[in-house]
Each structure stands twice: as C-alpha cells, then as structure tokens.
Chain A
Amino acid sequence: MLTGKSMTFSPALEERFAKLLTSYPPGRTRSAVVPMLLYAQDEVGFVSRELIDEVAKRCSVTPLQVDEVIGYYSMLHRHPIGKYNLQICTNISCQAVGAEQLMEYACRTLDLKNRETTPDGLITLEEVECMGACAWAPAIQINYDFHHKVTPERFDQLMAALRDGSYEKKAS
C-alpha cells in the first residue's frame, strides 16, 4: 500500500527526476523506475520500503512493479551498506593479473568477507563482475570511481585515504 508520506530529495536530484519523467514517450513514465531507484539510492543509501513507494508514486506504477526490478539489478540493494562501496573485479581479465589474490588481500587486511561491512560502517567489500577496465586490470571501483592497475601497495594507500578522510575522487 502507498503510504501517505512523501519523500523529498536534494534540489539537484529533484531536478534530475523532473527531467527523467519527461524523457520518455507519453504514458511511459515506468521507464524512469530503474534510473530513479539508482540515483535515489546514491542519496538515500539503499532502497528502502519508503523509497519503493515514492518511486512508484512518481512513476505512476504499483509498488510491486518497482519492487520486482530490485532483485534483478545487482547495483540496487535493499539494506544499507558502508559509506564506501569497495568493488573488486575478479573476472577473467582481472583474474589473469592477480585480482583473486587482491580480493584475498582485501579480505585479510580489512578482516571482511565478501559483502560484509566494517564495524564502523566505512567500507563494504564486494567481489564484482567485469566493470569495463579490462586492459588496465586489476581494477576496482570505490563507489563510482575507477582505480586501475591496483597493486596491494596502492590498495593500502587507498584504504588509508578512506580511513583518514583524505580520499579524493580520482580515476587513476
């Protein structure tokens, strides 16, 4: 059931949503469901029950039509994750140059298993599929930032930067 409450988002996101809803042919606002969920998740942190209802309302579809796509798209998640989503690709191009060892190294040094979050809520570790950086492997993404040719040393530097707050967006 739709709740009576409405969610509001930042002005930039509201502007993006307004544009999204006019991007598709007449009567096709359902098309905005997946983009809206992903963009909203970036701001809210995860796809909450409340967000499902809100997206349904805005796109003029039922909450079930929103709910059913969430399990399909691997980037959408129903529960909060860490501030930084650390994604390590281990697909074949990355595997060939040591990504599985990098994943093990990450598990060991962060004391995490795949899809776990550090107790302070800072880092969620996730083994992911090909992210399109094969020629510059091994590759990781921290939230949406690409980092190429990541060695254990580079990995340590990045983790230290996440912890001391000096991490800057850098596609290296």
Chain B
Amino acid sequence: MNLYIELLASTIRMSVPLILACIAGLWSERAGIVDIGLEGKMLIAAFVAASASAVFGSAWIGLFCAILASLAFALVHGYASINQRGNQVVSGVAINMLAAGLAVVLGNEWFREGGRTPALPPEGRFLPFEFPMLYDIPVVGPFAKIFLTHSILAYFAFAIVPISAWALARTRFGLRLRAVGENPQAVDTAGISVAALRYRAVIIAGVLCGVAGAFISTSLSSSFVRDMTAGSGFMALAALIFANWRAFPALGACLLFGFLQAVGNFTQGASIGGFQIPVQFINMLPYVLTVVLLAGFIGKSVPPKASGIPYVKDR
C-alpha cells in the first residue's frame, strides 16, 4: 500500500519538469517555432538555479536567475528562427550543446567540483509543503500523501496547464498565436506582426523551461550535476507529439511518462504475471509509443502546419 502511494507521489514529482517543458514546447510550436532546445534551456536553468541559490542562499533568487538564463537561450533561438530564418532544428541542437558545455565549464570554474554545484541548504531549495496532520486521516490521508507533498513549483506546473489551455483557446493572443503557427500569411494580411507573436511564444517557452530547470536542481535534487536533465526535454517533446499539441492531453502524456520514470526508478523493472520486464524497456516505452504514434499506427498526430518553416513575406 505504502509503496503505491510513494510511487504515485513520485509520478507527480517526475512529471513536473516534463509538464513545464512540454507546455513550453506547446507555446513555441503552436506559434510555428520548432523547439528541439527544450533540453538545453532546462539544463542551463537547472545549473544557474543551483549556482545562484548556492551563492545567494535563496531559492527564489535561484529561480529568478534560472529564468533569465533560459530566456537568454530562448532569445538566441528566436533570433535564429525569426530574424535569421535559420534552420530551427540546427539552432536547437546548438542550444542543447552550448547549454551542456557551458553548465559544466562555468560550474567547474565557479565551484571547482568538476561541474557539480555545492549541496544546497534548505533555504536554498524549494522544499515540499508538508501537512502531517492530514496524512493520518483515514481515506483522505493517502491522497494527501500523494498530492500534498510537493513544492510550490510543482503546483505552479499543474496550474500552468489549465491557464495555457484557457489562454490559447480564449484570448486574443492565443487565437493569433495559434493562427500564426498554421498560416502566418493569414495573420500578416490581417495586419498583425508575425515576428512579434513568435517572439512572445519563444519568451513564454523560455520562462517555463527556466522554472522546469530550477525545479530539477533545487526541488527534486539539492545540487546540479552534469547532464542532470537526462533527456527530459526530449521526453517532453515526445509527450507534446503524443498529445497532438494540446494542453490537457499533454498533461496526461506527461503524467504517463512520469509514471514510467517513477516505476523505472523504484524497481529494477516490473513484473507482469511473473514475467520480469527489464527497466530499460520501461525507460524506452515513451519513445517507442511516440514513434508508433508518429507512424500513424495508433491515432494521428498532426503538427501545426507552419511549424519549422521560416516566414518570408514575399509570395
């Protein structure tokens, strides 16, 4: 019983960075900017959050700096994709490498621990809220242990999903943003700036990746270690495709992938009907599912029509 509660609580924890990165990707790609660089933005943010928090002794300052760092990378990507009309995939790959390299190089120079950052004291971390009096109440207790044992960033992540869904569906900004990802020329002829819309989308993605990175190094963990995002950004990308570029399905996909990660962490594999499934198969399941979906064997996933295509005004 306790194991299952732990597993579910861990599922929620593991899915938080996925949700944030996935929603970041959602904003970016709905505006027509392909974002392979989610991973890199999260990684640099995780590093900067842990560093700033270690230096200033405040998790909030860490978070703030992490957002700035991620934003800087997002703007580089925006400039490459929007102004330079460069290849968005190439730009994303560059950002991932740059982040992976810079985090270790700067971390090594600042803290001399081979790229690690120092272990953070409690005030330097986003610690989970605790409600001990709730945990022992029958019926409610288990639920409280699953849902009410997380840090503020986790709740932010879960709040951002309905907010994003609402903003995309119901606001002027959301309407225009969705339009620019499908047919930028229609937006342009309606007298709206394509570049401004796309920059705003890229900025939102940067902020969300910043929060995701800060969560990884200052909430899930208490320091930065190299490559600590371990492919979360790509898993978020997979979740986004799996969710067909929609906010609530994205939440579902991230929870599913988070659950698989949690299972992988908890056991060295799971057994179904006495048959042992190696942990590696659980780890690869999200990616396999995504490929199967992409191949059109289960349902269909259709990206925004203009994604990845630089907008050129001339016909």
Q: Do A and B bind each other?
A: no
B interface residues with partner A (beta carbon < 8 Å): none
A interface residues with partner B (beta carbon < 8 Å): none
